[in-house]
Structure 1
């Protein structure tokens, strides 16, 4: 599960959706597992912190003196707020209704079609991106990307997919949108982890520590490798292959559920 989380968190294919499907196949389900799936995202978050440790250290040291660092932090806060507010209001309802294989498969397909549309739109009317670097983003740019991230509250949508594709639609270059998605993961995943641990603390015990530790470490290692690979990949490729993967995978899940080939556990 940790490897699945790390390999899918920063690709536009939905880590939550893959975790739900993997947990269903492994018969690894239940309220405690839902907490586990959120907590191991911290491993993926730490991978981003390590990859960008120099940049993050520079921002922290210049927080009170450097206007660029201050704007960067403000953009992260503003980008984080839409998903945080909606998640706080509707998280329980979303988990009860949408955290199941069939809704996830449908979200896979819809998200794949959106990516195909955006990439086709980019090819049909290629234009120089308005924003080439995350340092050029305004507060309004960050807010728009944050609103796009809120769509990822629906499992199977993909947080990284929503922020990257949303950023591209709002004028960010592919690289800037991808990097801002990485940075936005830090407050988003940290808040989700802390909130889930606090809210569901009655479900947990000291005996769960080894399981959570192994999952988090596995997520860190696999996410670090994935981040490195994705930064190289986007320099010469678009996201079309991920769109087709989403569509084909979603159709296979739906076919297996309706045909009875796989018994998907909710």
Structure 2
């Protein structure tokens, strides 16, 4: 029962932080210091994959109609625009897919630590504030997803590569990329959600292939529980973000990241000093 409560809590954290530009890794590394699953290393690795899958399924459900090029309610032009959107998403996914495959083991071995997470939390927090201040009085050039050009989505895709560094926040990096190419906040956020589909599915299946899927009945139950909780919370997190950015910019998330990064550095630094 205690492990189930931990799984629920971790699923909630993942569902909220995966879509808000505040770094799910940064939060999970801090939360897991206090909420430790008493399970095998293989289970924990798989659990982190499964709760991400739950989060990405929320995007598929919310935007199913917009992402479905075969919908009978769409005109031929709308179907063509949907197919073009998918082409842009796949093109933007290439940089992270290539770099991720090449450096996945290196990142897990050398960058998955609190110092890297804290530094990237702070750096991208500052970046959000700077980018938003630069765009305060500028009208976005891209107000619709269909206005995104191939060069633009490639630039956004390159920003997604930065998110391979723990603590960066995949949504945070790609939203910054979107803002820099002139996209409106809503367009940048939506394209970020869609870009997560192939990238996160690909990363998840890579981890499943690496760790396998041999678990007990109780472990499978906990994995499914974490997936469902992450999915449900992600629905609310995505809707909250899209509503929030109608009247607000991303600076508040920048300040939050800086504070969280400082807390991570302070906590783990003091823990190491007095160990």
Select the residue among 86, 89, 106 that pairs with 1:76.
Answer: 89
Structure-1 residue corresponding to 2:129: 116
Structure-2 residue corresponding to 1:256: 267
TM-score normalised by L of structure 2: 0.88
Q: 2:48 matched to 1:55? A: no
Q: 2:120 matched to 1:107? A: yes
Aligned counterparts, 1:224-243, within 5 A? 224-243=235-254
Q: Is the 8 A contact 2:67 2:82 kept in 1?
A: no
Runs of 4 or more above 6 Å deviation: 261-264
Q: Aligned-pair distance for 1:138?
A: 1.6
- Cα separation, 2, equivalents of 1:172 and 1:86: 25
Structure-2 residue corresponding to 1:135: 146
Aligned length: 260
Structure-2 residue corresponding to 1:33: 44
Q: Aligned-pair distance for 1:192?
A: 1.3
Against the structure 1 CA distance between its residues 240 and 262, is the aligned structure 2 distance closer, same or farther, given a 3 Å change threshold?
A: farther
Against the structure 1 CA distance between its residues 247 and 38, is the aligned structure 2 distance closer, same or farther, given a 3 Å change threshold?
A: same
- Cα separation, 1, equivalents of 2:100 and 2:274: 29
TM-score normalised by L of structure 1: 0.91
Q: 2:11 matched to 1:2? A: yes
- Cα separation, 2, equivalents of 1:186 and 1:105: 26
Q: Aligned-pair distance for 1:211?
A: 1.6
Instruction: Flag structure 2 segments of 5+ consecutive residues without an equivalent.
Output: 1-9
Select the residue among 211, 215, 219 that pairs with 1:205.
Answer: 215
Q: 2:218 matched to 1:218? A: no
Q: Is the 8 A contact 1:256 1:262 kept in 2?
A: no
CA RMSD between the two structures: 2.2
Instruction: Flag structure 1 segments of 5+ consecutive residues without an equivalent.
Output: none
